[in-house]
């Protein structure tokens, strides 16, 4: 079997994985207008995140669904219009762009979910996730900010709908390893434990289903997890934020 054939198959599995994951956490995509605020990813043009959001935009079928670069004024007008209509909306944004948008166009959002994907590369001081969420909650008068946890090597995503606690789709599992001994997996008892995050993603059937990240995490007995930060001396990826 050729590698290109694998890539086509992998794209189909990736699409099925994020659509099923979306349904598990958010329900029917056709109920939503999907707005993508991913300027740096769009400019690069080859991002799996852009592919995912583009598919969600198409699947939603809403005439106002679409991508925005730096046209924040237009995005603000569309959001106001959707809010007036009571339309369920999901604004998926890279962190620095959401912060820029929040400072330029704060407004109360009653029907809109904001989903931040991480990403503060080259944008000055690295913010704690709690700081980012406080800033966005204040600007848009929201109780919770949602987050997505994913990376290029994974075909599946985890979602946090409040308090930075990530839930995983049914075919994904988080396992912790010892920071000082990478071959030592930490067993979880009835209480939360902390270590470095390993991900088992059964959607990765044409690549590795076992991914060792450089993220420090806390794992809860129900399988949910928090991301606490990065291991020392590891490169900070676009998908991660510093967190408290």
pLDDT value of position 123: 60
Domain boundaries, the chain: 3-149, 167-230
Q: At which residue do the structure tokens 């670069």 appear?
A: 69
What mean pLDDT, rounded, does the chain reach?
Answer: 85
Which tokens in the block code for residue 164?
A: 């930075």
Sign of the dihedral defined by the CA atoms of residues 97, 55, 90, 151, in that order: negative
Calpha distance 25→128 (Å, rounded): 25
Q: Is 217 helix (H, G, I), strand (E, B) or coil?
A: strand
Confidence of residue 160 (pLDDT cuts 50, 70, 90): very high
Confidence of residue 42 (pLDDT cuts 50, 70, 90): confident
Alpha-carbon distances, residue 74 vs 64, 66, 100, 121 (angstroms): 11, 12, 14, 25
For the domain covering 3-149, report its CATH number.
3.40.50
Confidence of residue 45 (pLDDT cuts 50, 70, 90): confident
Q: Is the pLDDT of residue 243 over 60?
A: no
Of the candidate CATH numbers 3.40.50.300, 2.30.38.10, 3.30.360.10, 3.40.50.2300, the domain formed by 167-230 belongs to 2.30.38.10
Edge-to-edge, what's the strand order for the sheet holding 210-219?
Answer: 66-68, 33-37, 89-93, 112-116, 146-149, 158-160, 166-167, 225-230, 210-219, 193-201, 172-177, 185-186
Name which residue leads in pLDDT, 44 or 224. 224
Calpha distance 48→152 (Å, rounded): 7
Calpha distance 39→42 (Å, rounded): 5
């Amino acid at each position: 079997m050729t590698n290109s054939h694998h890539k086509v198959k992998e794209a189909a599995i990736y699409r099925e994985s994020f659509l099923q994951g979306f349904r598990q956490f958010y329900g029917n995509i056709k109920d939503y207008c999907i707005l993508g605020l991913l300027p740096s990813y769009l400019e690069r043009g080859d991002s799996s995140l852009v592919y995912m959001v583009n598919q969600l935009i198409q699947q939603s079928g809403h005439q106002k669904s679409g991508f925005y670069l730096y046209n924040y004024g237009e995005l603000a007008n569309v959001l106001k219009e959707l809010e007036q209509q009571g339309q369920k909306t999901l604004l998926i944004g890279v962190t620095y762009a959401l912060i820029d948008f929040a400072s330029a166009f704060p407004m109360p959002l009653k029907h809109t979910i904001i989903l931040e994907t991480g990403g503060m590369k080259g944008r000055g001081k690295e913010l704690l996730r709690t700081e980012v969420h406080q800033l966005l909650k204040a600007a848009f008068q929201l109780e919770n900010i949602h987050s997505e946890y994913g990376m290029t090597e994974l075909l599946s995503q985890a979602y946090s709908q409040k308090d930075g606690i990530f839930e995983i789709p049914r075919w994904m599992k988080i396992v912790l390893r010892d920071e000082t001994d990478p071959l030592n997996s930490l067993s979880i008892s009835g209480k939360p434990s902390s270590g470095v995050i390993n991900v088992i993603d059964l959607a990765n059937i044409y690549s590795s289903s076992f991914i060792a990240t450089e993220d420090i995490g806390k794992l809860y007995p129900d399988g949910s997890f928090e991301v606490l930060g990065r291991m020392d001396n590891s490169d900070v990826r676009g998908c991660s934020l510093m967190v408290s």
